[in-house]
Amino acid sequence: MSERSIKEPEIFFDNQTGQLTSPVITVSKKLLSGLENVFKNEAVRASMDQEQVVYEVECYFPVEEGKKGGLFWGVSRIYPGKVAGEYFMTRGHFHSESDTAEFYWGIAGKGVLVCMDTNGQSWAEYLKPNSLHYIAGNVAHRVANIGNESLIFGACWLSDAGHDYASIEQNGFSVRLVDLNGKPTLIEAW
Ligand code: F6R
Ligand code: MN
């Protein structure tokens, strides 16, 4: 009988903190300076500290982007803050490849996931620790932090999904999430 070795894992994910530990992580940070025209009040965004980090994403890409059949894994952290009453949020996107779905799940903090289909119909749901969200293909998605602490959520998507930011840059979402008298409120944007 020959003995075979059992490997130690190299990648760890802490479900409590969202800490991803891997020899191969890609980190991207979004500063306020990189979010031009994302918030309704562009003048207020431009007047704020441009070096402020709004959100960051740590990703594990086991295969090259665009490869069919692979999966990507990411952890997003959105810091608390607002631009003229509108909560700090991700830019949001459709996937470039039509009909490529994604899972999001809440790890820490309080947020709202805003979705919009290709007809401009929008809806939103709270994203909180242990909530699980299936985002169907052809649905644009963005997350806002409605709390006073960091909002952390995980994501898993197809490696050939790609990201279409241009449609959202041009038209935005049909709803915006704003603080109205201390309450997160979804309002029509168009
Ligand atoms: C991947 C995905 C997330 C987001 C991340 C940042 O398809 O949906 O990992 O990329 O939350 O948001 P965006 O990409 O909209 O800046
Ligand atoms: Mn996505």
Question: pLDDT tens-digit profile of 136-146?
Answer: 999 999 999 99
pLDDT of residue 62: 96
pLDDT of residue 190: 86
- Residue bearing the CA closest to ligand 1, atom 12: 90
Distance (angstroms) between ligand 1 centre and the Cα of 99 equals: 16
Distance (angstroms) between ligand 1 centre and the Cα of 6 equals: 35
Q: From edge to edge, which strands make up the β-sheet containing 82-83?
A: 82-83, 86-87, 175-180, 183-188
Strands (E), the chain: 12-13, 20-21, 26-31, 53-60, 71-78, 82-83, 86-87, 94-95, 102-108, 111-116, 122-127, 132-135, 140-145, 151-158, 163-164, 175-180, 183-188
Domains parsed from the chain with CATH numbers: 12-188 (2.60.120.10)
Q: Give the C-alpha separation, 90 to 34, whole Å.
A: 11
Question: pLDDT tens-digit profile of 77-133?
Answer: 999 999 999 999 999 999 999 999 999 999 999 999 999 999 999 999 999 999 999
Residue 1 has pLDDT above 90, yes or no: no
- Residue bearing the CA closest to ligand 1, atom 15: 92
Q: Give the C-alpha separation, 152 to 79, whole Å.
A: 9
